[in-house]
Amino acid sequence: MDFNNTSDFVSGFWNMYVVVLSLVSVVGCGVFLLIQDKAKTNAGNTTGHVWDEDLQEYSNPLPNWWRWMFYITVVFSMVYLALYPGMGNYAGSFGWTMRGQYDAEMKKAEELYAPKFNQFLQMDVAAVAANPEAKEMGQRLFQTYCAQCHGSDAGGASSFPSLKDSDWLWGGTPEKIKETITGGRTGIMTPKGTKPDMDGEQVKDVVHYVRSLSGLSADSIRSQRGKDLYPQACAACHGPEGKGNPDAGYPNLTDKVWLYSSREDSMIETVTKGRQNQMPPFGEFLGPAKVHLLTAYVWGLGGAKGEAQPAAAAAPAGMSGMEGMPADKK
């Protein structure tokens, strides 16, 4: 974002347009008020207008408090436009810019938090995950940058994976999680529902076979036919037994976790049209220290499989998370 970008104003026309519009509005308000002030009124008498038989309009002057408020507003606008930007290219005598304020605030925050971030960056993921302060900072980052897709509880939604279960498309070790956050991921399933791949019946057959792998309801005849189609059409990615491949983001089709839905029509749609799914890269945008904190936060949610779990994730809510940690991690 470049708040200083005034390329729209280079022609000069829009600049003048905005300046004239601003001035005419403010001055116009003042003039209108003066005219109303001078208008002849007839205090205590009515204008002669009658509504609903007995509702009448008095011809009183404007109330003083209202008039003065209005005058003050007009003067305030003039002073404001002299000091702050508001009239086309004119920057205002204070030289204030949104960009400048943003930079100043960022700089202040950077100075305040940099030592903390750097301290955690020196620690390994398990130790960071067990640190209550790091967890709080990680959670705040997660709410800001990740929750809109993965949900505020990291539980995911259709097409957005849950980050707190033990099922990982791309692997749940600290290294893999960090790789995912840094470089992003793209999950592509190629469409299979067009000839010469498969016709609609064959798609249904192979879907029934896949459903049978995880104990979902499936037609046994279809599933038998689908079993013959699977090796050629699906095994290259999902593996000969349907267990997937977390090195390439190919989901396991034999478990109970579904990125999309376990409904038959959703699976038919997946196979027919394919899927394209993108986790955006955050490495450059957030920098190594924030990525490190987020890695620890996501890992600490407890879904990592086969890894020593951080105590903070295993401990019931309310505990500090330091109990039960090996001495060298404290």
Query: Does residue number 260 form part of the binding site for ligand HEC (CB under 6 A)?
Result: yes
129/325 with CB nearer ligand HEC: 129
91/257 with CB nearer ligand HEC: 257
Q: What are the distances in angstroms from CA 249 to CA 207, 213, 246?
A: 20, 19, 5
Q: What are the distances in angstroms from CA 55 to CA 25, 41, 62, 63?
A: 34, 19, 19, 20
33/237 with CB nearer ligand HEC: 237
Interface residue with ligand HEC, options 4, 25, 190, 194 (CB under 6 A) = 190
Nearest position to ligand HEC, beta carbon:
187
Query: Does residue number 70 form part of the binding site for ligand HEC (CB under 6 A)?
Result: no
- Residues 257-273: b if buried by 16+ CB within 10 A, e if exposed: bbbeeeebeebbbbbbe
Q: What are the distances in angstroms from CA 194 to CA 55, 190, 198, 274?
A: 75, 11, 6, 11
Say if CB 188 and CB 276 are below 8 A apart: yes
Query: Does residue number 164 form part of the binding site for ligand HEC (CB under 6 A)?
Result: no
Query: Does residue number 280 form part of the binding site for ligand HEC (CB under 6 A)?
Result: yes
Encoded tokens for 5 = 């970008």
CA dihedral 17, 21, 23, 28 (to 10 degrees): 150
Interface residue with ligand HEC, options 145, 227, 254, 283 (CB under 6 A) = 145
Query: Does residue number 304 form part of the binding site for ligand HEC (CB under 6 A)?
Result: no
Query: Does residue number 314 form part of the binding site for ligand HEC (CB under 6 A)?
Result: no
Interface residue with ligand HEC, options 148, 166, 194, 320 (CB under 6 A) = 148
Query: Does residue number 149 form part of the binding site for ligand HEC (CB under 6 A)?
Result: yes
| # binding residues, ligand HEC (CB under 6 A) | 47
249/321 with CB nearer ligand HEC: 249
Question: Which conformational region is residue 307 in: left (phi greater than 0), alpha (psi within -120 to 50 degrees), or beta?
Answer: beta
Query: Does residue number 326 form part of the binding site for ligand HEC (CB under 6 A)?
Result: no
* Residues 6+ away with beta carbon under 8 Å from 308: 126
**Residues of the shown chain interacting with ligand HEC in the complex, contacts defined by CB under 6 A:** 145-146, 148-150, 159-161, 163, 168-170, 177, 180-181, 185, 187-190, 192, 206-207, 210, 233-234, 236-238, 249-251, 253, 258-260, 267, 270-271, 275, 277-280, 282, 294, 298
